[in-house]
Structure 1
Amino acid sequence: MPTPQQARAQASAITSGKAGPEAEAAPVSQLRTLFERHRLSPGHRRIAQYLIEHLPEAAFLSITDLADRVGVSQPSVTRFAAAVGFTGYPALREKLQAIALGSISGGAEENRGNELQSAVDAEIENLENLRRDFADPDQVIHVGRELSASTPLTVLGLRISASLAEYFAYAARRIHPDVRLVTRGGSTAYDALLQSYEAGGSWVLAFSMPRHAQETLAAVRVARGAGLRVALITDLALGAVADEADVTFATGTGSRLVFDSYAAPGLLAAAVLQAMTDADPERTQARLDEYEQISDQHQFFLRD
């Protein structure tokens, strides 16, 4: 078994894209399973999120160093360990080390591709995790119904998340009578959210991809304060924005390249759109038929 120093060096290769996809994606999945089955306080969620994001190094930290890195007290770390089912921090750290070292030994040998192929493999892992999540589609179906009934429906995506919000809003307008897209933060977002509530809206669909913007958190808080409910599509079910949302759908992003990719969040957004179409099939069909007539009349698209 590698020493802690060797593990850190090899783990550095993993996060820089020099090892197989399983070395990164599988540990994240394991930690999510470990932490998300427990009800955690906001302080404990901060510890969990740090461990997920910094596993190769965090697995070998002392309780003092981990507390300092997260910005919590040592007793908080001890209570966190107990909250997720361990007798104390040493037992939790042993589990973290097993996950980190197992990802190194299992992933490096299987690397047969280049950097771009590894990025694709990591996204495949994200999609496989999402497929398992879809084994129980009830929450997606329920939220789709709620979003379909919200008139107007506000879609929020700031900074890097704007592209996903724009995709969702573009498609949703084909099946929903009043979709309002918010891609600018600050007072502009506040105005749009307050106006949506005053116009009778009940839900906001928000996207928050890393790096998570402070203005997204502020906008979600404004929405909740105004009386709107928030459904969130993000990469982690732990964190400040997720804490504020009424419903959170978490799925992994591709982080093997310099800029993240969003295969799984994009598919999750499409699944919510599908749930919206199924929630009111008559309205959906009528609006799609009307749009086809208009697009033919004005020749929006090239003829095949």
Structure 2
Amino acid sequence: MEDINNKQDLMRTIQVKFPRLSKGQKLIAEYILKHYDKAAFMTAAKLGISVGVSESTVVRFANELGFSGYPKLQKALQELIKNKLTTVQRIELSNDFVSEESALKGVLKSDMENIRATLEKINHKTFEDVINGIFSAKKIYIIGLRSSTALAEFLGFYLSLILENVKVVGYGVSDIFEQIINIHEDDLVIGIGFPRYAARTIESLDFAQSRGAKVVALTDSLLSPLAARADYTLIAQSNMASFVDSLVAPLSVINALIIAVGLREKEKISTTFANLESIWEEYQVYSFKESD
């Protein structure tokens, strides 16, 4: 039962079980059916307070649905709504997630958890396959839109210093499809996207697959629409009950990709950066003045 991953299945299960639930558990069921978007980010204790039952009743309710504990039910609820929350709903939830006084600690703790979970979930063999794919590709296209633009630009910036066949696709004078019109089967497309997934990124991966190109997705789940269109999927957890997307774990995975590619091109990188240092100093790109 713990692999429930869509609204219809979970809500249907609650409805089917409803007649056999205790009075307190029925109150929980009614609340979740009406407000599952809010319940997804409540602790068992807070959910209990909201409906007027004990925390243990909430735990028993989760068990009654077939979950080993309340955290499993909560995770299932979060999977349902993470791509459906509007920005306004995220703002409302963030008020419950952290107070202004605890924002620093709460957000940093959440990001630490995202990195920890990513380390557990990411497939090391897939990571190696992606690195091999980068080196075997004739051209590498990187596409990440909306909040993922920063990730795509960062990855593109550093890969372009190491490799000569990297193109970052983004909004600009040309339409997205005009920038990827020449994709063919020898190319690699890296798509980056997290809830709420940008429709144009998904469409671009569809186009890439239709042209026979290899597709890599950096996304939050194997259930992601990007993963459904990818040959290789790198999972990076991005949970954040806020209007701000948590991109810390995805950026960490991107750092690992850049370092792994760089390790295979040590000599080239040394030469490139030696040349860049001379250029930077000549044209004063950075401040080279020593501090007093």
How does the TM-score come out when normalised to structure 1?
A: 0.63
- Answering whether residue 136 of structure 2 is matched by residue 165 of structure 1, we say no
In 2, Cα distance between equivalents of 1:216 and 1:185: 15
User: CA 1:219–1:12 in structure 2 vs 1: closer, same or farther (change >3 Å)?
Assistant: closer
Corresponding residue to 1:5 among 8, 23, 27? 27
| Identity within the alignment, % | 19
Corresponding residue to 2:204 among 199, 219, 228? 219
Corresponding residue to 2:116 among 128, 149, 171? 128
Match of 2:165 in 1: 178
Corresponding residue to 1:118 among 95, 103, 106? 106
* 1:151-300 correspondence to structure 2 within 5 Å: 151-184=138-171, 188-197=175-184, 202-300=187-285
Instruction: Work out whether residues 126 and 233 of structure 2, in 8 Å CA contact, stay in contact via their aligned partners in 1.
Output: no
In 1, Cα distance between equivalents of 2:155 and 2:209: 21
Cα deviation digits, residues 41-73 of structure 1 (max 9, x gap): xxxxxxxxxxxxxxxxxx989xxxxxxxxxxxx
Q: Secondary structure of 2:226's match?
A: helix
In 1, Cα distance between equivalents of 2:243 and 2:265: 41
In 1, Cα distance between equivalents of 2:248 and 2:282: 34
Instruction: Work out whether residues 169 and 179 of structure 1, in 8 Å CA contact, stay in contact via their aligned partners in 2.
Output: yes
Root mean square deviation, CA, Å: 3.7
In 1, Cα distance between equivalents of 2:201 and 2:208: 10
In 2, Cα distance between equivalents of 1:131 and 1:238: 18
In 1, Cα distance between equivalents of 2:102 and 2:39: 13
Higher RCO, Cα 8 Å, sep 6+: 1
Cα deviation digits, residues 2-46 of structure 1 (max 9, x gap): 735348579876655x759xx9xxxxxxxxxxxxxxxxxxxxxxx
User: CA 1:275–1:190 in structure 2 vs 1: closer, same or farther (change >3 Å)?
Assistant: same
Amino acid at match of 1:128: R
User: CA 1:166–1:184 in structure 2 vs 1: closer, same or farther (change >3 Å)?
Assistant: same
Instruction: Work out whether residues 223 and 229 of structure 1, in 8 Å CA contact, stay in contact via their aligned partners in 2.
Output: yes
Q: Secondary structure of 1:127's match?
A: helix
Size of the alignment, in residue pairs? 227
Structure 2: give runs of 5+ residues left out of the alignment. 1-21, 47-59, 76-97
Corresponding residue to 1:94 among 66, 82, 100? 66
Instruction: Work out whether residues 204 and 228 of structure 1, in 8 Å CA contact, stay in contact via their aligned partners in 2.
Output: yes
- How far residue 250 of structure 1 moved from its aligned partner, in angstroms, is 1.2
- How far residue 121 of structure 1 moved from its aligned partner, in angstroms, is 1.4
Q: Secondary structure of 2:217's match?
A: strand
In 2, Cα distance between equivalents of 1:142 and 1:6: 45
Structure 1: give runs of 5+ residues left out of the alignment. 24-58, 62-89, 104-110
User: CA 1:238–1:185 in structure 2 vs 1: closer, same or farther (change >3 Å)?
Assistant: farther
